[in-house]
Amino acid sequence: MKQTKITLEENEIPERWYNIVADMPNKPLPPLNPATKEPIGPEALAPLFPMALIEQEVSAERWIQIPDEVRDIYTLWRPTPMYRAHGLEKALDTPAHIYYKYEGVSPAGSHKPNTAVPQAYYNKQEGVKRITTETGAGQWGSALSFACQLFDVGCEVYMVRISYDQKPYRKLMMNTWGAEVIASPSERTEAGRKILSEDPESPGSLGIAISEAVERAASDDETKYSLGSVLNHVLTHQTIIGQEAIKQMEKAGELPDVVIAPFGGGSNFAGLSFPFLRLNLAEGKDIKCLAVEPTSCPKLTRGVFRYDFGDAIGMTPLLPMYTLGHNFVPAKIHAGGLRYHGAGALVSQLLHDNLIEAEAVDQIESFEAGVLFARSEGIIPAPEANHGIASAIREAQRAKEEGKKKVILFNLCGHGHFDMSAYEAYFAGKLHRHELSQQDVEDAISKIDTPEIPATAP
Amino acid sequence: MKQTKITLEENEIPERWYNIVADMPNKPLPPLNPATKEPIGPEALAPLFPMALIEQEVSAERWIQIPDEVRDIYTLWRPTPMYRAHGLEKALDTPAHIYYKYEGVSPAGSHKPNTAVPQAYYNKQEGVKRITTETGAGQWGSALSFACQLFDVGCEVYMVRISYDQKPYRKLMMNTWGAEVIASPSERTEAGRKILSEDPESPGSLGIAISEAVERAASDDETKYSLGSVLNHVLTHQTIIGQEAIKQMEKAGELPDVVIAPFGGGSNFAGLSFPFLRLNLAEGKDIKCLAVEPTSCPKLTRGVFRYDFGDAIGMTPLLPMYTLGHNFVPAKIHAGGLRYHGAGALVSQLLHDNLIEAEAVDQIESFEAGVLFARSEGIIPAPEANHGIASAIREAQRAKEEGKKKVILFNLCGHGHFDMSAYEAYFAGKLHRHELSQQDVEDAISKIDTPEIPATAP
């Protein structure tokens, strides 16, 4: 009988998160205060985050101990299985060996709880009563609702009004876990009231929802704010994915030639690839680490490396990132998790130093890949995950053309049970490729008015 | 660190299905020809099912070998994990040890693929080109679509019109796996055209959908029909659940005092409980096997044991079953999979012989249980699964009252990702208990005009 799943025991859940900063040849540049353009210290983040997470955000320690209480919760779905994609290999008639790590087995259905759980834990430890956040498509809001419920911390999710109306099942999932979900813009905040006074029918945006969530956290000592990607500590939490994957590849008796993950703000990609990248940096391995972004939002492949705001309206510190500009509005593709204008500081520095690679896949190619995957492997993937599958298929087809074996590993970051309307649009021929023209990219970049990276930086 | 999941390796997937007929003290009575009232032979089923499944349907062999090709597909999600419900135990403050077997990890999200896969396999082996079936809520149609896709067999699903309109995500899931989904009644069959000519706006029913699917299979040599519960071979396929569970309980170092599963037609309950029942029948153990039905459709607890049709309109052979009458129309509870008027022949005989027990849970108690479960264990259960959880909670609360340890195992047969509107109705206070009055039950039973079980039967 063929082996399909390579599994681990619960006592093989990693005991530490891996912080790649320790191994980076060039460390990420510091965030800047937008007013003074000077580097900000950890204390500037204290109104929004608990101290333990701020310490992780600025840490240069290679390994960060995972609290027992967090590992206990991780056992609800971790270690996640790694699959050998026998069905997909057969469908592609490729000599490549294709593996995928499946993060959709978490209760929230994606990799997001890997960081939501420790974030809820550290907030609880420091006496926080309520965590606020924003959510667009709903993956992150679901994960944080789940995590807060388990630690008995309140959860207040500002959900972009148009998603709130179009994705009632996501909202209900959050309610089932006890979260309060508020359509944004709302009457609950100054920011929301201002928008509503100008446009009572506003469909909302992620930028507005962030403003509301941050305002609530900043104005109440017992309330903090939480982010699902981009920041260093978030990426670090996700490295349990790649650490497990290394053990599983060892059990399979192979080392990947290429490691692939979809790219939104960086947490999905970092989660799988950073532990493999450590093998390159510390042990001289030569594993290609490939981030896959949508052609509609190509910050890694076509953006510029400079300081920019993390949010759309310019409330955050300035972060060093590959960006299309914080005002860039990407097309409304179904992979909502990949519609972010910039890349986190860690990934951006690594790309700048040519230690990782990136490519872009258009929406139709991504859904072709997802449907082929569902029909050969069974699991129906999330639209975000389809981007990683598409690149894995490209690699496998090249292996076939070259007539040589290649070992491919990708992150199947979530299932598509709440995204079936995207598949409906695909089957109805209603999806677009959304390739940006050169002019589109130049226009976006020309509007960026935030500081450049100093010429003296490495 | 606490152990949460008890897992098995792929080579521990059972090699045989368990056929309880071999161990039953009184064998199930034979099905009757409705016209002659004489027992029918296997040949009567040949237009609808492949020979290999008919042989299993009438087999008295204790063990039936699982083909390697089926076990290969099972590795896509099996062995399924068994969980120790630490969070639920804590929420209930009970001395009971609660375990659950989680079947929602299958690509279709329920236990149904356990039989859909071998059914598709045997049809493929016998050269069948297309399988038809009916589906109401969509669980079974999804599972068969998934299985047919993997064996490259066509799949034609007649989906009750009102579900087709109200549950577009389920339909899209089937389409993603390549199935053709037809709203029933349809223009494609004599049965459908007849209904539509009388009522062009007919919302359909499971009875009509069965008629359409059966008519298509009966009128085409290359097309067969498939059922997702009730029949002996279907229940036998599901016994891989209980066989795995026995190994997992052994690893946990405990034997359950009570084994619980929701009850619709019997496949969910049989799947978990029959292998444990074998320990009672063959090894003298005393494990309580408890089937949980909705109070709105109480055939096991309040129905009568007699011959009845398997379908609503009287096309099937007469089967010996606990029934409320094939014309009984249960309330439209959200647990669509439990709205079946009768119980399969194997389960009915076992209940008649007092070898298993049954109880009923109302809709509101079931959702209270499901929400408590989601908030303490993370997974959001299917409405059907909530019935098993409710009974497990009752058992755990009795253990607390009695101040003694009890080991409880239940089948968490699926997740609720496609049923969030049921949770919405629960949160909005729109659910009803749907308890039948004594008069309701008497009225239903008085309408049954099918033959009684002979007084000479054991």
Does any domain span residue B155? no
Backbone angles phi, psi at A282, to 5 degrees: -105, -20
Bridge pairing between strands B258-262 and B223-225: unpaired
Q: Tell me which residue has tokens 């000599």.
A: A95
- SS3 of chain B: the string is CCCCEECCCHHHCCCEEECHHHHCCCCCCCCECCCCCCECCHHHHCCCCCHHHHHHHCCCCCEEECCHHHHHHHCCCCCCCEEECHHHHHHHCCCCEEEEEECCCCCCCECCHHHHHHHHHHHHHCCCCEEEEEECCCHHHHHHHHHHHHHCCEEEEEEEHHHHHHCHHHHHHHHHCCCEEEEECCCCCHHHHHHHHHCCCCCCCHHHHHHHHHHHHHCCCCEEECCCCCCHHHHHHCCHHHHHHHHHHHHHCCCCCEEEEECCCCHHHHHHHHHHHHHHHHHCCCCEEEEEEECCCCHHHHCEEEEEECCCCCCCCEEEEEECCCCCCCCCCCCHHHCCCECCHHHHHHHHCCCCEEEEECHHHHHHHHHHHHHHHCCCECHHHHHHHHHHHHHHHHHHHHCCCCEEEEEECEECCCCHHHHHHHHCCCCCCCCCCHHHHHHHHHCCCCCECCCCCC
Mean predicted confidence (pLDDT) in B174-193: 96
Residue B2 has pLDDT above 90, yes or no: no
Each residue of A245-271: pLDDT tens digit? 999 999 999 999 999 999 999 999 999
Using CA coordinates, name the residue in chain A closest to B142.
A378
Which DSSP symbol is given to B22? G
- Gap between the Cα atoms of A219 and A331, Å rounded: 33
Task: With respect to residue B193, please indicate whether it lies within any of the assigned structural domains.
Answer: no
- A375 closest CB neighbour out of B172, B177, B375: B177
pLDDT at A166 over 90: no
Residues of B contacting chain A (CB within 8 angstroms): 1-5, 7, 9-11, 68, 71-72, 75-77, 83, 87, 105, 107, 109, 146, 149-150, 168-169, 172-173, 175-178, 371, 374-375, 377-380, 417-418, 420-421, 423-424, 427
Instruction: With respect to residue B328, please indicate whether it lies within any of the assigned structural domains.
Output: yes
> Does the pLDDT at position B360 exceed 80?
yes
pLDDT at A327: 87
pLDDT over 90 (residue A2): no
SS (H, E, C) A399-419: HHHHCCCCEEEEEECEECCCC
Task: Kindly determine whether residue B420 and residue A377, on different chains, have CB atoms separated by under 8 Å.
Answer: no
Min Cα separation B264/chain A (Å): 24
The confidence score (pLDDT) of residue A265 equals: 94
What is the nearest CA distance from A147 to chain B, expressed in angstroms?
9
User: What would the pLDDT profile of B62-85 be if each residue is shown by its tens digit?
Assistant: 999 999 999 999 999 999 999 999
Contact A87 B150 (CB under 8 A): yes
Q: What are phi and psi of A306, to 5 degrees?
A: -160, 175
Q: And the tokens for A119?
A: 């974030």
Residues of chain B with Cβ-Cβ distance to A10 below 8 Å are 1, 3-5
Chain A residues with CB-CB distance to B2 below 8 A: 72, 75
Does B171 map to a domain?
no
Closest CA to B64 of B270, B233, B242, B241: B233
Task: Tell me, yes or no, if the pTM score tops 0.95.
Answer: yes
Name chain A contacts of B150, Cβ cutoff 8 Å: 87, 378
Closest approach of chain B CAs to the CA of A141, in angstroms?
Answer: 14
Give the rounded percent of residues in chain B with a pLDDT score beyond 70.
100
Mean pLDDT over residues B316-339, rounded?
92
Question: What local confidence, expressed as pLDDT, does residue A321 receive?
Answer: 96
pLDDT by residue (tens digit) across A430-439?
999 999 999 9
Residue B181 belongs to some domain of the structure: no
The number of beta carbons lying within 10 Å of the beta carbon of residue A319 is 24
3-state helix, strand, coil in chain A (%, to 5): 45, 20, 40
User: What is the average per-residue pLDDT within B378-403?
Assistant: 98
pLDDT digits (tens, 9 = 90+) for B103-130: 999 999 999 999 999 999 999 999 999 9
- CB distance B4–A72 less than 8 Å? yes
Nearest to A68 among B1, B77, B175 (CB): B1
Residue B194 lies inside a defined structural domain of this protein = no
Confidence class of residue B246 from pLDDT cuts 50, 70 and 90?
A: very high
Does pLDDT of B137 surpass 90? no
Residue B206 has pLDDT above 90, yes or no: no
Q: Answer whether A409's CB lies under 8 Å from A395's CB.
A: no
Name, in order, each residue with C-beta under 8 angstroms of A199's C-beta and a sequence gap of 6 or more: none
Q: Is the pLDDT of residue B1 over 80?
A: no
| pLDDT of the residue at B71 | 97
Distance between CA A228 and CA B432 in Å, rounded? 39
Q: Does the structure show a pLDDT above 80 at B313?
A: no
Dist. CA A329–CA B64, nearest whole Å: 59
The predicted structure's pLDDT at residue A400: 98
Mean pLDDT, rounded, of chain A: 96
- Asked if A431 and A367 count as a contact pair (C-beta separation under 8 A), the reply is yes
On the CB side of A379, CA atoms within 13 Å amount to 28
Cβ-Cβ contacts under 8 Å, A175 against chain B: 423, 427
Give pLDDT tens digits for B6-48.
999 999 999 999 999 999 999 999 999 999 999 998 999 999 9
Number of domains in chain B: 1
B56 belongs to a structural domain: no
A366, part of any domain: yes
Looking at chain A, the whole-number percentage of residues with pLDDT higher than 90 is 90
Question: Cβ separation of A1 and B71 shorter than 8 Å?
Answer: yes
* A8: containing domain: 4-12+67-109+233-446
- Render pLDDT for B38-61 as a digit per residue (tens, 0 to 9): 999 899 999 999 999 999 999 999
DSSP state of B62: S
pLDDT at B314: 84
* A200 burial level (CB within 10 Å; 0-12, 13-18, 19+): exposed
Angstrom distance (rounded) from CA A168 to CA B103: 25
B77 chain-A contacts, CB cut-off 8 A: 378
CATH number, domain with residue B423: 3.40.50.1100
Predicted pLDDT at B147: 98
Lowest mean pLDDT among A234-243, B330-339, B349-358, B435-444: B330-339
CB B378 within 8 A of CB A146: yes
So what's the pLDDT on residue B102? 98
pLDDT at A205: 87
Dist. CA B104–CA B121, nearest whole Å:
22
